[in-house]
Structure 1
């Protein structure tokens, strides 16, 4: 009987969580719809505020998630993949039936700042309110003004594709208690104006931590791993550590390197690839120079990282790397050089490249398989691309050449195995 008694505890806890979630939704529902404040209503029509909002929405890269491939901008329809199932990005054009046309600013503010939807429901954190909560109220007003100025698109929102129990919204109550704390960014008086602006953009609107940090089993981010690098769930790309100090993912990067890669998609140390190439194309290339400088100031201040723990190799990778050396000479050296230095402004270096040496080997493997396509930007309108080798190289060949470039020159990263290549070969691009 004692054993049966213990079995009731998880059930009781689940009931408590569900009840708390229901109470929270009802509590928010009571303040759900309020008439627009006359002063805010007038502000929403101000051309200067709308222009500011357009810039801020660009800084937040809102269009990338809220636009389906080939669809109308901001009309939603893109399914965001998570380990728990798909979450559709909603229509945020001012359509009254399918978009935000009936929203008041307070509805928008509650979503951005508290992660609570217009109907009082807790929002899934695929909408990055864990970062957007840092956005100031004035900036949120400007973004809302811009969204309300967009062309109306009537496009119904898709249904959630989450598995049970993740499709039960009230279970988010426990998740929010652990992983979410609402609060507008507070400036650090000991730092410069530029540093604080960079911190605000990186931590808030830019929501960089949503990709550049490891997530736990429940999809939450821990404060002590901020910007330290992480695998992007369900996309099989690795967003590198952003520290430029010792053992950081961008160790040795200069202020200009950071600015160049954000503005042009390419720098002396490497190029933006995968999801980051989209961020550059849709967002960071359009930022003002002083904001790019501010982001660089903030990233340059990130602390050094602990030296990685030595991991004993599960096999002798030297024969694999030796085989990869021959493949590199035949397929890669003409562009990237026998010394892995690349060609400045044309072909990125492989020696010391953060995307090559990141912990998993995912990025280099996927680029060899799928090709490398840097961002098309105003500063680099015709970037050189790398052709895909998925049809020309076997899994064993790819493992060999990637292992070689991860261990050649000054690189000291782990080997990539054939079974890993087989997995990444079949990962969807989007």
Structure 2
């Protein structure tokens, strides 16, 4: 192969072939090496789950918001079949009920742990990363066994998982193997002994079952997020919502917000300074409102510490000044007119918002509102187009909402009124363009 006189193209071809073979072996070993290892001894007879373990599993499944993905609208709870859209096609969730043919009825606790910790089914098949196994790999074995014990108490539902509709080669086992070798490494939780028990509990919940970085971390071209502790924010693909950077106070406010208010936001979906909508509203609705106060406080402590310790970028005053100065008189006039007609009655003449007689926020203030000032205006466009509805929770059962304007306002109207919000009452943020509005309208209208 290296003899003198070998043609350079042939030599390059041999080098490429050998490189590919080495890569293939490395990927195969990385993903299937554990299956090639000597078989493990047969497990001891299963120990019957206790009531306490089953209840713990039920609670942990709520913390992981398992119902949201593994239940179709109007379908049997946790029987799977819900379509999860990705940039590469559709993925259908699996049946978590103990049906022996289509669910987990023949699985063992070890099989379930393998899925949680390694992203691999009982048969050894590699699971698609729509299931956030990088986060579930954080979960302890005891907690995994508890969730499995609770799932086994559910009524079995015979409902086969539909075939994924991912574009080839995404979804094939070789492609998943390469993806995992590039982007997946199990991350079992390691306690930070320099921190308090509450901080560690919060880190465990945020990084693990809470899988917060699945939304609050930027994704690359192949759909991979950062590490399980990456909370630097990013645009959520397909659903088109921007998950704020939780370590940057200008976006989240976590560094300076009292812990009690952070807990209140997580538990009820609303606080004096923020309200949840879109995907975060669903998380509060189906998961966070059901968690113990101590766990919500632990999460708040962890999140606040991350924000307080992060380097906060200094505002670019020159850029802000330029963005405000570029708004044309026509856009400014149009935005003011739309605001007066559509928004003023609820949000006030000076963007001060409106409170109920009990002092609770009915309609949030727009002046100084972090959601209004985000550099990425995607969430504002979503709210105006499709309405803003906070979650109905036990602590906030009748939230006020905002009607959609998708059929009433044109792109130029929405861009102008959002620009008005972002440049009035001391707000200093960039102009929103009709093109930005149109792109979101076009994607959501597919």
Structure 2 length-normalised TM:
0.87
C-alpha contact (below 8 Å) 1:270/1:349 kept by paired residues: no
Answer yes or no: is 1:396 the counterpart of 2:412.
Answer: yes
Q: 1:394 to 1:8 in 2, by over 3 A?
A: farther
Shift, 1:122, TM fit? 2.3
* Alpha-carbon displacement from aligned partner over 1:264-285 (angstroms, at most 9, x marks no partner): 1111112110011110000000
Q: 1:194 to 1:400 in 2, by over 3 A?
A: same
Paired residue secondary structure (2:242): strand
Answer yes or no: is 1:305 the counterpart of 2:309.
Answer: no
Mean Cα deviation higher: 158-167 or 274-283: 158-167
Shift, 1:337, TM fit? 1.6
Q: 1:375 to 1:6 in 2, by over 3 A?
A: farther
Shift, 1:24, TM fit? 5.4
Q: Distance in 2 between matches of 1:371 and 1:330?
A: 16
C-alpha contact (below 8 Å) 2:198/2:301 kept by paired residues: yes
When the two chains are superposed, the root-mean-square deviation of aligned CA atoms in Å is 2.7
2:147 match: 143
Q: Distance in 1 between matches of 2:398 and 2:287?
A: 18
Paired residue secondary structure (1:205): coil
Answer yes or no: is 1:118 the counterpart of 2:122.
Answer: yes
Mean Cα deviation higher: 295-304 or 94-103: 295-304
Q: Distance in 2 between matches of 1:7 and 1:321?
A: 62
Q: Distance in 2 between matches of 1:403 and 1:145?
A: 52
2:285 match: 281
Paired residue secondary structure (2:363): coil
Mean Cα deviation higher: 302-311 or 365-374: 302-311
Shift, 1:410, TM fit? 3.9
Q: 1:117 to 1:342 in 2, by over 3 A?
A: same
Q: 1:191 to 1:137 in 2, by over 3 A?
A: same
Shift, 1:141, TM fit? 0.9
C-alpha contact (below 8 Å) 2:213/2:226 kept by paired residues: no
Q: Distance in 2 between matches of 1:368 and 1:379?
A: 26
**Equivalent in 44, 69, 77 of residue 65 of structure 1:** 69
2:3 match: none
Mapping of residues 312-323 of structure 1, within 5 Å: 316-319=326-329, 320-323=331-334
Q: Distance in 1 between matches of 2:385 and 2:40?
A: 51
1:226 match: 230
Answer yes or no: is 1:329 the counterpart of 2:348.
Answer: no
C-alpha contact (below 8 Å) 1:231/1:239 kept by paired residues: yes
* Alpha-carbon displacement from aligned partner over 1:18-55 (angstroms, at most 9, x marks no partner): 555555565444579986542xx324x31110101110
Q: 1:394 to 1:11 in 2, by over 3 A?
A: farther
1:419 match: 435
2:397 match: 381
Mean Cα deviation higher: 50-59 or 326-335: 326-335
1:370 match: 386
Q: 1:289 to 1:87 in 2, by over 3 A?
A: same
C-alpha contact (below 8 Å) 1:52/1:142 kept by paired residues: yes
Q: 1:3 to 1:321 in 2, by over 3 A?
A: farther
